[in-house]
Chain A
């Protein structure tokens, strides 16, 4: 069954899917997988420091991971962070057409995000170096530099498996799962 993003059905089915995967998929989770995204959401929501730093922040942020078919990511991924005055209302994998409309989009190749989440690449530096591109009001991001830094710092604390670390078999399996999710949820 295919759900339409933005409907209550989509949200319900998404949460059920995540719950099921959290119960069955072994840790560490693959970067950008639904279970990784759910862990990320929980950690942001639990961060008191983020709440403080992001007071007054309004706007959705998308982490855009560019496709890398060779590594097992056949299409671009969009992780939508719904952030509002220090609260992280949700983090979801969303369809492309939704992701590209976010207020802020951080775009980068899979390898860059792997380096960011492993702590090898600082996201601010990566943006300055053009390794990660920002779309959205720079003036506003600069005002919330601590909150933005914390968002990526939190991601480094998730125990993560990178696609580049998977065996061919695991990669094939993950690719299949992504195709099924796409059919169901549109991402």
Chain B
């Protein structure tokens, strides 16, 4: 079968048994790959137990999945996903990563790895082609991700081969609720605490190398569509920009339109800060550019700081999300300081979005006098204090002092602090909102509110389409959308969610380079790689099926329509900047969205639709849950 190896590794950590299981045909047909298949597998593995499962219990499966394009040379398809119930949000958890891991896993002959149970002692999984075994990781436990990556690559690599490594750091071992999984140091499965789940299983990491290749269903057609995409990339200004300044390339334009959050979402303009954190500002410490497997974009940065207080050897540089979550959100106008904070987060294994936002939220509360030094363990939390932020990052990873409270994320922090603090916690479904402001792009506000894993800017393609960087003209989305307007956005969001579920989360096309793909390119890629017939209609149906399945998992976990909302701090208009005075009309958009999705009064999907999409069993479980059974 083109695009797939046809098998998964199933690792029972409790029993220490590694098994080869076939990748079922129905999963491929209906859920394509990535977190589409991941969601179905999780649902089946937890059937009847989803509602009560504690995400940190051994029973929570941890599923790493590739997609059909992983390991091919289609541009910008190097992503991989990891899925489990999230300890941070309590609902469906999902994070994805670029780099080499997905290609290596396919070359080793596997479409994914499913971890069950929990090990009594620290272990790591070594996959070398068809051979896979669990090895002791006692001496690795407690070490940071950079040290462990170097060690494992030395141990299992050879002269000409460097295995792909994915490991957790101290944050994941210590149960920080937003721990990440670091792949080859700089690429992170960041969101929803997947590193925390891994830590709870005493699983330190995976080491993967393979020498095989991915079968292509229709090689001639594949060659044609690949070349078409490469030509588009050569012509694309967006691609040129990503190469030039990395994911941070849009910060200046974003600042103008009001897209960049500043001072915990409460300042609309900060020219001097942006000038100190934009692409040119990082050039002073730029040592090199790097890329993911077979991606011509090369949007990754390598930075090196030789002088001053933030010295660091050449290593992965911060992405836009990190530059803003620590830079603009904590009011630190210093590229080198942010690069250093990023390095420590990488080493300790922390999601920089959740971490930066939680720290910014705490500083905001302190500055407003809502919390006092007695609550912070004597720390004076102030804006523009990079040394303090670095210290907090260490304390969070170690769960030490006030760091132990920050390690719970913004939602729980607000619950603990009480009073008015909740107003300033920017979370949706307990997940910190990523670094794009819905007051500048109202559709994004609806996308955040209705996103499955909590506020998310990548699982649908709403952001790219609404900002005009991605055109889906066959779906009637021509890129001419007014950002600060709520009119017509429910339709845009529903369409981009369905398309995005297939495109970014199941096929795992990278959202960045993927902006050059249109619907026809994507359909052609699917048909030619798999050798099966795909149409746009099938893409949308598949996306809708995956979206509804994940939504049902959330409903079973108790997250319903009342959780589809934006936090107060983001519903408050700014007084300056590109989005001044603008607030998404959530009531209107949610009403329209609910009608488009065919939800009933309680926000449940209809029996007819679920049945037509092959989700009758899931609908039955939802009904049972509704009746309180």
**Which residues of A does B touch, CB under 8 Å?**
120-122, 124-125, 127-130, 133-134, 138-139, 142-143, 145-146, 149
Contact = CB atoms under 8 A, between A and B. Distances in A.
Contacts of B469: 125, 128-129
A129 B479 contact: yes
B468 interface: yes
A142 B468 contact: no
Interface stretch (B236-244, B434-442, B568-576): B236-244
Contacts of A120: 480
A142 B236 CA distance: 15
Given A120-B480, A127-B237, A145-B253, A139 B280 contact: yes
Contacts of A134: 237
Contacts of B241: 138, 142
A142 B252 contact: yes
Contacts of B238: 128
A121 B279 CA distance: 25
B252 A146 contact: yes
Nearest to A131: B479
B72 interface: no
A57 B289 CA distance: 27
Contact of A130 (B235, B244, B256, B280): B235
Contacts of B471: 129
Contacts of A125: 467-469, 479-480
Interface of B is mostly: helix
A48 to B, nearest CB: 16
A3 to B, nearest CB: 36
A122 B468 contact: yes
Contacts of B237: 127-128, 130, 133-134, 138
B512 to A, nearest CB: 12
Count class of interface residues, chain B: 20 to 34
Question: Which of B236, B253, B278, B471 counts the most chain A CB atoms within 10 A?
Answer: B253
Given A120-B480, A129-B469, A133-B237, 15 more contacts: A125-B480, A128-B236, A129-B471, A130-B236, A134-B237, A138-B237, A138-B244, A139-B244, A139-B280, A142-B245, A143-B278, A143-B280, A145-B256, A146-B252, A149-B256
Question: Which of B237, B240, B471, B515 counts the most chain A CB atoms within 10 A?
Answer: B237
B363 interface: no
B249 interface: yes
A122 B469 CA distance: 11
B241 to A, nearest CB: 6
Contact of B244 (A122, A142, A146): A142
Contacts of B278: 142-143
B474 to A, nearest CB: 15
A139 B252 CA distance: 12
Interface in B230-280: 235-238, 240-241, 244-245, 249, 252-253, 256, 278-280
Interface string B267-310: 00000000000111000000000000000000000000000000
Contacts of B244: 138-139, 142
23 contacts: A120-B480, A121-B480, A125-B468, A127-B237, A128-B236, A128-B468, A128-B469, A129-B469, A130-B236, A133-B237, A138-B240, A139-B244, A142-B244, A142-B249, A142-B279, A143-B252, A143-B278, A145-B252, A145-B253, A145-B256, A146-B256, A149-B253, A149-B256
Question: Which of B238, B469, B479 counts the most chain A CB atoms within 10 A?
Answer: B479
A120 B482 CA distance: 9
A149 B255 CA distance: 12
Nearest to A139: B244
A70 to B, nearest CB: 22
A127 B479 CA distance: 12
A134 B237 CA distance: 8
The 8 A-B residue pairs with the shortest CB-CB distance in the complex, in nearest-first order: A125-B468, A145-B252, A128-B469, A128-B238, A127-B237, A145-B253, A129-B479, A138-B240
Question: Which of A120, A129, A134 counts the most chain B CB atoms within 10 A?
Answer: A129
Nearest to B238: A128
Nearest to B479: A129
B492 to A, nearest CB: 15
Nearest to A120: B480
Contacts of B236: 128, 130
A138 B242 CA distance: 11
Contacts of B280: 139, 142-143
Nearest to A115: B480
Contacts of A143: 252, 278, 280
B6 to A, nearest CB: 39
B615 to A, nearest CB: 36
A186 B54 CA distance: 77
B174 to A, nearest CB: 40
